[in-house]
Amino acid sequence: MFINDISTRKRVAKGAYIYRHGAPVTSLFALRSGIAKVYDSERTLIGIVQPGQVIGAEELFMPCHHYDVQAACDIEVCELQNRHFYQISQITSDFTLFMINILSRSAREKQRFISVMVQSDGIKKIRGFLQLLCELNREYGFEHRCLTLPVSKKELAQLLGISLSTLTRALETLVEQQIITVNKKNITLLAEEKKHG
């Protein structure tokens, strides 16, 4: 995603942090593989990051990070340090547009997540969340019909602001309606295209 000669690839072990709340903002990250979890300062799970997505775009021009970003499994990130921005701008005239596109895409993805979160019905919220994961995977060129839940069901319930029992019932209902199949943390969407009909 970033320019190879200036960016750095880094492996981050499961449970380790890409950055912590309060740390100085020095870089922009893109997730190459794996899943990362985003926590607020109260240790509440507020988001997940999938391969292809940029991490830290909304904090890029702040003095310090407001979130913890933790590897949910062994991951690989591409790091582009802020101090290289001027150097890149001299190499390519499109860098400003590139940065605008990154920030715009990050904002759009956050808005799409918010549109899922405002659903009051548990089943619609779960289906919307799974649909969003599929759409993001497809946009970034990854498998988008078969998903592996990136977090535990308890964490997913926390992320979506519902109880674990509500999550369990919603998944069972979606299975009964033949919208999804569930095998442990693996979910296959059977009716993804219905929303377009």
Please tell me the predicted confidence (pLDDT) of residue 5: 55
Q: What is the dotted CATH code of the domain comprising 8-113? A: 2.60.120.10
Q: Mean of the pLDDT values across residues 15-40?
A: 94
CATH of domain 120-196: 1.10.10.10
H helix intervals, 36-195: 85-91, 95-117, 122-139, 153-160, 164-176
Contact criterion met (CB below 8 Å) for 79 and 48: no
Of 17-21, 47-51, 174-178, 189-193, the one with minimum mean pLDDT is: 189-193
Distance separating alpha carbons of residues 66 and 87, to the nearest angstrom:
27
Q: What is the pLDDT of residues 154-194, one digit of tens each?
A: 999 999 999 999 999 999 999 999 999 999 889 999 875 44
Per CATH, 8-113 and 120-196 having the same topology is answered no
CB distance 38 to 49 below 8 Å: yes
* Percent of the chain at pLDDT exceeding 70: 93
For residue 90, is pLDDT > 70? yes
Q: Domain ranges for the chain, please list them.
A: 8-113, 120-196
Find the helix packing angle between 122-139 and 164-176, rounded to 10°.
70
pLDDT at 195: 44
